[in-house]
Structure 1
Amino acid sequence: MAAAAGVVLSACTSAPPQQQPAPVDTGPAKQAEAIGNGGVVASVDPYASAIGLEVLRSGGNAVDAAVATAAALGVTEPYSAGIGGGGFFVYYDAASGKVSTLDGRETAPAAADANYFTENGKAIDFNEAVSSGLSVGVPGTPATWDEAARRWGTKPLADLLKPAAKLAGDGFVVDQEFRSQTEENAQRFAYFPATAQIYLPGGAAPAVGSTLRNPDLAATYDLLARDGVGAIYNGAIGAEIIAATNTPKTVPGKTVRAGKLAPSDLAGYKVEPRDPTHAQYRGLDVYGMAGSSSGGIAVAEALNILERGELRGQPKVDVLHRYLEATRLAFADRNRWVGDPTANDVPTAQLLSQEFADSRSCRIDPAKAAASPAGPGDPKAPAACPAPLAPAGAEGNEGHNTTHLTVADAKGNVVAYTLTIEQTGGSGMVVPGRGFILNNELTDFNFVPVTAGVPDPNLAGPSKRPRSSMSPTIVLDKGQPLLAVGSPGGATIITTVTQTLVNRVDLGMSLVDAIAAPRASQRNGAKTEAEPAFLAQPERADLEARGQAFTQVKEIGAAAGVERLPDGRWAAAAEKARRGGGSAMAVNR
């Protein structure tokens, strides 16, 4: 009885059991690394990576998978990419051993001139320019998908759009990263009824764990699958893009600046095949994207500067110091010389030369950081350690929320593809009834000349492409693919790709660890942006003693890459933590 009484007493006096809240569904699981023998996909999003992987499983090649993955990112990463934007596509063809590139950058209206972003002789407010029709360039992404699929793919574009159309119709589970990005843009999204209808359901950012559907985008993908991308460049969707840009639909009491797009701007758009940039680094061949991106040029120059001096086995602080100084100099030259090559005399070959890099590397003092802004060199007349030219201004206005994907297939074809709509959420304007956000890429132009008396290669102009920093990169070893990598992050893309390559090649990290390592981004500024983990390293004190100054930022970039392993299999590598972590997936046969 005593025992029984004890049980009754315990039952009577204990607190009632607490009901545990049901776990919130945050969508498919993410993983930062995957290894397989039948191809790999790395992106920031598991829905998109899974779609690319299924294309590989069904017999598609790396180009097919890249296009399908990109279309899916237009659904789940709509604030970073989509058919309202543009990008750069780098492809290695295993059969020919050739690296090719496509410039799918957006273009300014023919009506644009050097005063496009000025009023009464002064630059207009940057934020006012972003959320406006004035910032919208002719989208290049749909034409890039079409061109890549026709040139190198094995499946028609219509088939590659179907999985993304289904994803848009069925919806995806909202995670914290998506909700946070929506909250950060909620005020300006609310200006545009078509945007708020999709991304502010009930007037607020969608809850984590809820399902976000975009039937308008599903229908748009279906239309493109049926009628081709001509529906954008010569058809009904194009007319609606022009209407949304030139007469933006806003809530009562709110007006934004109108754009100047014309039907001829869309009809005349062309994806530009360009020769890739090329540098040799530690015996490897590094290929990237030439103008209108500055990415391939600046990454190559930084590596060429670092080439004259061994980093392997050196103290880590020396490696970091030299990396920061190399990118400082590369940005000085990029800011002065690089713009749209169809509108500027860009000395690409000279900027890529080892001779020019050698003339610049002598500016690096191993014991002391250079003052910024450092002046550029003259690539057209390199000499032995000449005095630099007058500083040529700042890096520009590039937004950080681009996206990148990398794919390799079982035959060894490789794609590195970076695409964007510029700022997080682009212009903020969804084309009514079409479900996609228009870019604000034209704000990548400098609004006014940066330095008086110095030619500025990045002012707006008729049909001109604004300078970019996107740096999709493919590295070959003795003619065979070794790795490919890229990242979002605006101008920090250049430093992220450079640092990742130094981590992998010089410091011997695995690709996934090279991507995860703490980052710092020196872009010819008085201070270097650095992540908290970078600043927590013991080398910080020595770097600061050498004159390196830092400002802390939450995170830099969100890289994704692939690497061919010694046994012939492929490894896909994505972020472990940045932007909520990335998604690496592999086919095993």
Structure 2
Amino acid sequence: MTQRLVATILLTALGTVAIAKTPVATGTGGAVATISEQASQSAITILDRGGNAIDAAVAAAATLGVTDPFSCGIGGGGFMVVYLAKEKRVITIDHRETAPAAFTPAVFLDNGKEMDFDTVVASGQSVGVPGTVRGWDEALRRYGTMSFRQVLSPAIDVAGKGFTVNTNFSRLVDENTDKFRRFPATAALYLKDGKALPPGAQLKNPGLAQAYRTLAKGGVKAFYEGPMARAIVDAVNRPATAPGVTVRGGAMTLADLANYEARIRPPVRSTYRGLELYGMPLPSSGGVTVFEALNILEGWDLTALPRPQAEHLYLEASRLAFADRNAYLADPEYIDAPVAGLLSKEYAAQRRKLVDMNQAASGPVAAGDPYPFQRDASVPLRPASPAALRQESAHTTHLTVSDKEGNIVSYTFTIESWGGSGIVVPGYGFLLNNEMTDFDFAGPAPNVPEAGKRPRSSMAPTIALKDGKPAFTIGSPGGATIITTVLQTIVNHVDLGMRMDQAIDAPRLSERNGTATDVEPGFAGSPQAAALAPFRQRWAAKPEEIGAANALVFNPDGTVTAVSEGHRHGIGSALVQKRAH
């Protein structure tokens, strides 16, 4: 049997009941794929109670805030792409964190020099105004059918009764022990005798259960005003630290929280091999960059090429798209980015000419000039050349849900680094983000910090239609590697003919216009790597697991297949309301 067919890790739910965790499921009715069994179960519970995909997505997300608190939660933000079946349209909800009003472009400079990145991460200075709760509220009020009280119920149950810590959870705590030790509220929740909770330990989070109950009773205002808002501001500006530990405080105000707004934005749209693709617009660079790379690749018949050459072209298209991403993209309320030019098929044809069919570029390539393809009479001045690509955290989560009516949600949200800033809000049990480190620390660059600005993201929740009907969804965590994971999965599925589970499980190669391509453990000596050797591709010296994707595939017979990871991140959880026979 294959690993996916078995996928039989048995989780112990509340210490008693064993639940089989499977990363692939096909059936009818609603479907969900997340990285957490409890989160997927929460979505199914809400669907079974008559909720729609939007209700179920919020329920799953809230539960992920309990079981996967180091990658997401109400202390962060995210991007939701929604297909509304009756209206046959796609909308997006941007609830990315914003910079406090006190921010300036020099906020991360000390005597003119960039501050140490890791020092800024573990501080109140890195915390942006959280947007997740406002985003959930917008989603439910506009497109859902249930209240906070209803959709938060499963997550309150998990937080209150507890869950069993698995190996992956314990590993993530262990890797962040130094950060968590700095903050007593965090250490009390996730450490025991100064060390990571071991696998098999039972973890309850009464503080988060209380936070969710407060939201269930008081709605969105209970987060952005009142006692919880004051607790957030205090935790940011005056972080409670262990004896002898000093960290920088932030400058967040109650007004920053009260003034936070989510944005309903039209999706970024493109086409590829007969598919209509819908993704997240700026301030996420994910949709634009994935679609530009696909436009470049569309000029070659990848199915007719040997697989190593097709993969070589994928890497080079990604390199070119990333060069443009880094040069032009940022918060659209602050930067007039040339998105139409970047997504022009004619511009892609120009960029395609730079690719050597048989040899990788020798290093980073220059950004192109999309402005002649912008078709815009108000063309802005061209920005200055970008600085080198900054470090970007790879720690986020993605989920996807559909319902029996055909509504679909593709949702990526985050608190940035594993464990965010490391600061748990005392009494409320959730970690605060370190999203402000997604800004470039120095300019000139489109993505420098500014008051109220949303840092550029790479999140790329995507929905694909074929002949006007849903075909598949795809998304992943992974910082800037999100873009390459989504891009490579689409190429694997559409061009290389892989089933979606095969496309997700395949080794990931992430080329982001650097000197070498990031790969996963074991790849460098593999036959696949050997087949790419003649193209002079270079592999990074330190391999790491890349992404944790989730997808839905809408089959011609009317069934839906939910797909999660088959081996990464402890294996994901795919569930359907009614299994196909």
TM-score (norm 2): 0.94
CA distance in 2, matches of 1:132, 1:415: 33
One-letter amino acid matched to 1:439: N
Gap runs ≥5 in structure 2? 1-9, 375-381
Distance change in 2, residues 1:360/1:389 (3 Å): farther
1:573 corresponds to which of 541, 545, 563:
563
Checking the alignment, whether the CA contact within 8 Å between 1:74 and 1:83 is kept in structure 2 is yes
> What is the DSSP-based 3-state SS (H/G/I as helix, E as strand, rest coil) of the residue aligned with 1:585?
strand
1:105 aligned to 2:99? no
The corresponding residue for 2:417 is: 423
**1:235 Cα deviation (Å)?**
1.9
CA contact (8 A) 1:377 1:389 kept: no
8 Å contact kept, 1:376–1:389: no
Matched, 1:52 2:43: yes
Partners in 1 of 2:90 and 2:362 — Cα distance? Answer: 37
Provide the rounded CA distance (Å) in 2 between the counterparts of 1:59 and 1:535: 48
Equivalent AA in structure 1 for residue 513 of structure 2: N
Once the two structures are superposed, what CA deviation does each residue of 1:443-463 show, in whole Å capped at 9, x if it has no partner? 0001112xxxxx411100011
Distance 2:121 2:256 in 1: 20
For residues 350-405 of structure 1, give each alpha carbon's deviation from its aligned partner in whole angstroms, at most 9, with x where no partner exists: 2112121111111111011113221001111249xxxx999633332321110000
Aligned equivalent of 1:473, options 451, 459, 462: 462
> 2-side partners of 1:285 and 1:393: how far apart?
33
Amino acid at match of 2:554: R
Counterpart Cα distance in 2 of 1:488 and 1:507: 23
1:144-543 equivalences in 2 (<5 Å)? 144-382=135-373, 392-449=386-443, 455-543=444-532
Counterpart check, 1:582 vs 2:572: yes
- Kept after mapping to 2: 8 A contact 1:416/1:472: yes
Moved more, 468-477 or 153-162: 153-162
Q: Distance in 1 between matches of 2:293 and 2:342?
A: 10
Deviations 1:172-212 (A, max 9, x none): 11000000000111111011011011111333211211110
Q: Structure 2 vs 1, CA of residues 126 and 28 (structure 1 numbering), >3 Å: closer, same or farther?
A: farther
Asked if the contact 2:81–2:91 (Cα under 8 Å) also holds between the matched residues in 1, the reply is yes
CA distance in 2, matches of 1:24, 1:105: 33
Alpha-carbon distance in 1 for matches of 2:190, 2:564: 27
**CA distance in 2 between partners of 1:259 and 1:29 (Å):** 44
SS of corresponding position for 1:304: helix
Q: CA deviation at 1:429?
A: 0.3
Q: Deviations over 1:263-313 (max 9, x none)?
A: 111111100111111110001011100111000000010111111111113
Q: Which residue of 2 aligns with 1:18?
A: none
| Paired residues of 2:11 and 2:21 also in contact (CA < 8 A) | no
1:121 aligns with 2:105: no
* Contact 1:147-1:271 within 8 A present in 2 as well: yes
Map of 2:378 onto structure 1: none
Measured in 1, the distance between the counterparts of 2:384 and 2:404 equals: 50
In structure 1, what residue type is equivalent to 2:427? G
Contact conserved, 1:378 with 1:389, CA < 8 A, in 2? no
Q: Distance in 2 between matches of 1:152 and 1:536?
A: 49
Q: CA deviation at 1:544?
A: 2.8
Conserved? CA contact 2:463–2:470, under 8 Å: yes
- Residues 279, 534 of structure 1: alpha-carbon distance in 2 compared, 3 angstrom cutoff: farther
CA distance in 2, matches of 1:542, 1:390: 39
Relative to structure 1, the CA distance from residue 566 to residue 298 in structure 2 (aligned partners, 3 Å threshold; closer, same or farther) is same
Name the CA distance, whole Å, in 1 between partners of 2:51 and 2:270. 31
Cα separation, 1, equivalents of 2:436 and 2:19 = 35
1:557 has 2:550 as partner: no
* Contact map agreement 2:149 2:215 (CA 8 A) in 1: yes
Task: State the secondary structure of the residue aligned to 2:411.
Answer: strand
CA contact (8 A) 1:108 1:137 kept: yes
Cα distance change, pair 235–397 in 1 and its aligned pair in 2 (3 A): farther
Q: Secondary structure at the match of 1:167?
A: helix
Say what the alpha-carbon RMSD is for the aligned residues. 1.7
- Superposition deviation, residue 542 in structure 1: 4.3
Deviation at 1:79, TM superposition (A): 0.3
Q: Distance in 2 between matches of 1:539 and 1:190?
A: 42
Q: CA deviation at 1:536?
A: 4.2
List per-residue Cα deviations over 1:304-343 (Å, max 9, x = no partner).
1111111113200111000000000000000000000101
Aligned ranges 1:70-109 → 2 under 5 Å: 70-109=61-100
What amino acid does structure 2 have at the position aligned with 1:276? P
1:166 deviates by 1.1
CA distance in 2, matches of 1:362, 1:389: 24
For residues 190-240 of structure 1, give each alpha carbon's deviation from its aligned partner in whole angstroms, at most 9, with x where no partner exists: 110110111113332112111100001001100001001112212211111
1:534, distance to aligned residue in structure 2 (A): 3.8
State how far apart, in whole Å, the 2-side matches of 1:409 and 1:25 are.
28
What's the CA shift string for 1:135-187, capped at 9, x where partnerless?
Answer: 00000100111110111111112210111011100011100000000011111
Secondary structure of 1:164 counterpart = helix
Moved over 4 A (4+): 23-27, 388-391
Question: 1-side partners of 2:389 and 2:485: how far apart?
Answer: 15
Structure 1 unaligned regions, length at least 5: 1-22, 450-454
Cα pair 1:397 1:446 within 8 Å, conserved: no
Mean Cα displacement is larger for which, 35-44 or 203-212? 203-212
Q: Over alpha carbons, which structure has the higher Rg? A: 1
Residue identity opposite 1:484 in structure 2 = T
* Contact 2:385 2:445 (C-alpha < 8 Å) held by counterparts: no
Deviations 1:39-92 (A, max 9, x none): 110000001001101111121111111000000000000000000000000000
Cα distance, 1:546 vs structure 2 = 2.0
Task: Tell me the distance in 2 between the aligned counterparts of 1:525 and 1:285.
Answer: 30
AA in 2 matched with 1:433: G
Conserved 8 A contact 1:374-1:391 = no
Q: Helix, strand or coil: the match of 1:407?
A: strand
**When the two structures are superposed, what TM-score results if normalisation uses the length of structure 1?**
0.92
